[in-house]
Structure 1
Amino acid sequence: MNKIRKGDQVIVLTGRDKGKRGTVTLRVDEDHVVVDGINMVKKHVKPNPMKGTTGGVIDKTMPIHQSNVAIFNAATGKADRVGAKILADGKKVRVYKSSGEEIKA
């Protein structure tokens, strides 16, 4: 089970974007996530008349390793770790480690 999923509010723990918050828009692979507004880079693109794109410098969001982000707990206003708990009906859910309450996604 992935501890950080698409749509989660996360906070960046390390790097040049430390302390910034954003929403996970994509899981690239098992270890990397794309968070909108985080890890922005300038990319130089060539024009492609076949696709109708113009060239220039664009801002692009790059993936960030999931160990460098933590889920944001709105109740405490801080970053929190994620654990797993099995409910009485056998369903496995994610919970905040600090309080033990279920993460609503």
Structure 2
Amino acid sequence: MQRIKKGDDVVVRSGKDAGKRGTVQRVLPRDNRVVVANANMVKRHVRPNPQAGIAGGIQEREAALDLSKVNPFCRTCNKGVRIGFKTLEDGRKVRVCRSCGEALDS
């Protein structure tokens, strides 16, 4: 089971965007990286492609962050936390906050 999944709220721990909150848009498990909305913004020069309807110019987009630079956000603790795993009575395995013990999975 992954510690961080697509759609999770995370807090960036270090780098130029330290302290920013955002949702995970993509997880790249092969590279141990995640793409977080509105974090690690970079400028890319894009060539125009009229067939695809792409206008050329300079675009700003999110670049991937290393997985170790983000922590899941716990709504109960109101901060970035470490993740633990717990097996429920019905046999489901859920991710839990290490600080308060609250389940992060719905």
CA distance in 1 between counterparts of 2:2 and 2:42 reads: 26
SS of the residue corresponding to residue 59 of structure 1 reads strand
Equivalenced residue count is 105
- 1:94 maps to 2:85: no
CA distance in 1 between counterparts of 2:53 and 2:75 reads: 43
SS of the residue corresponding to residue 11 of structure 2 reads strand
TM norm structure 2: 0.91
In the alignment, residue 26 of structure 2 is paired with which amino acid?
L
CA distance in 2 between counterparts of 1:12 and 1:52 reads: 34
Q: Which moved more, 1:95-104 or 1:37-46?
A: 95-104
CA distance in 2 between counterparts of 1:90 and 1:46 reads: 51
Q: Name 2:53's counterpart in structure 1.
A: 52
In the alignment, residue 25 of structure 2 is paired with which amino acid?
T
The runs of 4+ residues in structure 1 deviating greater than 4 Å are none
SS of the residue corresponding to residue 27 of structure 1 reads strand
After superposition, give the CA deviation of every residue in 1:35-74 in whole Å (9 maximum; x if it has no partner). Answer: 1101110001112233232210000111111110001111
CA distance in 1 between counterparts of 2:48 and 2:89 reads: 57
Matched ranges for 1:32-43 at <5 A: 32-43=33-44
Q: Name 2:79's counterpart in structure 1.
A: 78
CA distance in 1 between counterparts of 2:50 and 2:90 reads: 57
List gaps (5 residues or longer) in structure 1.
none
Q: Name 2:11's counterpart in structure 1.
A: 11
Q: Supply the RMSD in Å over aligned alpha carbons.
A: 1.3
CA distance in 2 between counterparts of 1:37 and 1:11 reads: 12
CA distance in 1 between counterparts of 2:53 and 2:23 reads: 30
